[in-house]
Amino acid sequence: MTSKQQLSKGKVVITGASSGIGKALALELSKQGYQLGLVARRMDVLNDVKRDILNHVENAPSIDVAVLDVADDETIYPVLESLSSSMGGLDIVIANAGITAVNRTGTGNFEKDKRVIQVNLIGGMATVDAAAKIFRASGGGHIVGISSVSAWMGIPGSSAYSSSKAGFTNYLKAVRTELRKKGIQVTTIHPGFIATDIAEGMEKKPFVINADKAAKDIVKAIIKKKDSATIPAFPWSAVTKLLTVLPEKWVSKTL
């Protein structure tokens, strides 16, 4: 640690850290004093994110970066293990990497749906599994999975995305019960509509908030070690319950 770095509150790895919620989480966690390991598919973009954080956060703890495509799930554990070694251990792993895709069922673009499932569900599960392996060896840790409110309601035109998040939420719930006795906390985050540079037209959706606001709320939930959190809590906690009982034609008009 250099004389300009503050003592770290903890060591956090974030997947999909080059944009959107992942990038906003990196900035917020650095502001709060966490040492970061940032991973995404492009090293040049990761270096830009690292530079931005160091320019905006005075005395920021150290930041490591590594290339990782979670769609290539066999590479996830080696990358996380390498970061754990270079960072001097890990306290939190945030499985955030994900993609969205609008695809109308039956239009001949099923490869889009397969890609969404591979990245969001298989990649997410593999990240959690890799983190759990590291934390089992170290005696404990905290796994955070970024799901979505669409886990509870199918979004027309994004059926694969909704399915991937529903599967990830159920996976995290099962894993939480399994790993609690090992001293490993598992938190599921369900963001609502978040305006980011990777989600076109999101500003037209209801109850939308920006990524910086979402990151602040997510970090609060992580610090409190909540089992599950909806971001923002109001109005989504109530809205998601309502949407599960509304007629499907009403839901399609709402979303």
In whole angstroms, give the CA distance from residue 255 to residue 241: 15
Cβ contacts of residue 91 below 8 Å, gap of 6+? 10, 11, 12, 141, 142
Fold for the domain defined by 11-254: Rossmann fold (3.40.50)
**Residue 145 in contact with residue 172, Cβ under 8 Å?**
yes
Choosing from 34, 77, 161, 171, which is the catalytic residue?
161
pLDDT at position 3 is: 42
pLDDT at position 248 is: 64
In whole angstroms, give the CA distance from residue 249 to residue 228: 29
pLDDT at position 213 is: 93
Nearest to 9 by CA among 83, 61, 58: 61
Active site residue 161: yes
Domains in the chain: boundaries: 11-254
* Alpha carbon separation from 53 to 16, 212, 232 (Å, rounded): 16, 13, 24
pLDDT at position 78 is: 98
In whole angstroms, give the CA distance from residue 172 to residue 146: 10
Write down the pTM of the prediction. Answer: 0.90
Number of residues that this document lists for the chain: 255
* 28 burial via Cβ count (<10 Å: 0-12, 13-18, 19+): buried
Tens-level pLDDT at each residue, the chain (255 residues): 444 556 679 999 999 999 999 999 999 999 999 999 999 999 999 999 999 999 999 999 999 999 999 999 999 999 999 999 999 999 999 999 999 888 899 998 999 999 999 999 999 999 999 999 999 999 999 999 999 998 987 888 889 999 999 999 999 999 999 999 999 999 999 998 777 765 665 556 657 778 999 999 999 999 999 999 999 877 667 766 666 666 666 555 555
Cβ contacts of residue 53 below 8 Å, gap of 6+? 26, 27, 30, 36, 60, 63
Q: Which two tokens stand for residue 50?
A: 């690292």
